[in-house]
Amino acid sequence: MQWERRAYLDHAATSPLMPEARRAVTAALESIGNPSSLHADGRRARDLLDEAREAVADRLRCAFAEVVFTSGATESANHALVGLALGSQLGKRRTILASSIEHPCVLQLAPTLRALGFRLETVPVTRNGVADLDAWSDRINEGVLAVAIQHANNELGTFQPVRAIADMAHSAGCAVFVDAVQTLYEPWTVDDLGADLVALSAHKIGGPPGVGALYIRGGTRVNALLRGGSQERERRGGTENVAGIAGFGAAVRALASHGERFRRARREARDAFLRRLSELLPSAWRPTVTAAEVLDGHAHVLFDGAYAERLLIAMDLLGVSASAGSACSAGSLEPSPVLLAIGLDRETAKGGVRFTFGWCSTAEEALWAAERSSEAYSRVVART
């Protein structure tokens, strides 16, 4: 069967599996051992976990034992923040602060935390999607248990002043949770971020879906959420996803070897896409944010006179895969909460489209996608 040509510009949602990760997953699936078993097959499975944990620990520049494997970043965020609440012995610290543009896996924890006697409160961002440091300074106090801040926003791609917020939080005795799901391509360490807890996801970097990790700095009191076994040093019960974790480790090692090339590919594809879109539609769109440092692989734009929902359908029919925001909130007809949080009105926010590029993106693919996106826009506008 002959497949139509397509351009995949939704790497922030999930990125294609790297060859190295595919080989690691396939090889691990041939292993029959449970990593908790003491026989030779179990020891081989345990070796695969240890190799992957070592790769992640080396990437983060942290201790081997500080890496806990999970089912993905959503579980990692839940483990970090709910686990902190469950493990808290600081009676007066009943507030968790999060930026107003955090991922739903953080913001939607509010009811759970409230049931445990804690409050999740949000801190505003600027029009350019960057944390307002003055607002954070005003809100961090002795009643705060932890702060939650993305390293870079998943929709806009804007980097956040994580270290400055972490320093404020630590001065007040608060723990710091960082969602670093979108930034494993970048050369940072946990000490650079000043983080006590960091959430990671494999499928954002070319690893398999359904696996992630939570960095827990030694001495941080975080209760386990999943019980029923002694796996992950009793921090996460349940038999480990050996094949997925092996693939995650392989993707992390590939980043260590080829990270600069991958970053350059993302940047060149993104820039080529925007240049061509400007040539084809010089006055029909504008960047959503303009004065912020943005990830190499992100381009979030506002189209004039066309709703994102209709544009994405038209683009899809022409072979372009893009999105209107977080895949975890897809299906909603409402404008993106992130765009509303940066101060856009509802009508303007409905025109926001996110194009994201990854390790395998090329300028040639991006140019073709820009032409199809322009055609899609023209079709949508002609019908309105």
Q: Give the active site residues.
A: 328
Q: Which residues, at least 6 apart from 284, have a Cβ–Cβ distance to it below 8 Å?
A: 303, 304, 305, 377, 381
Q: How far apart are CA 17 and CA 21, in angstroms?
A: 6
Helix (H, G, I), strand (E, B) or coil at 117: coil
The bridge status of strand 175-179 relative to strand 197-201 is parallel
First CA to last CA distance, the chain: 36
Task: Give the relative orientation of helices 308-318 and 363-383 as an angle to the nearest 10 degrees.
Answer: 120
Query: What count of residues does the chain have?
Result: 384
DSSP-H helix ranges across the chain: 19-29, 40-60, 73-87, 104-107, 110-115, 133-139, 162-171, 190-193, 231-234, 242-280, 308-318, 337-341, 346-349, 363-383
- DSSP element (H, E) containing 211: none
Task: Give the relative orientation of helices 363-383 and 242-280 as an angle to the nearest 10 degrees.
Answer: 60
> What letters, b where the CB count within 10 A reaches 16 and e where it falls short, cover 168-196?
bbeeeebbbbbbbbbbbbbebebeebbbb
Q: Which residues, at least 6 apart from 196, have a Cβ–Cβ distance to it below 8 Å?
A: 175, 176, 177, 216, 217, 220
Candidates 207, 188, 168; CA nearest to 73 is 207
Nearest-10 Cα torsion for 272, 273, 279, 280:
150
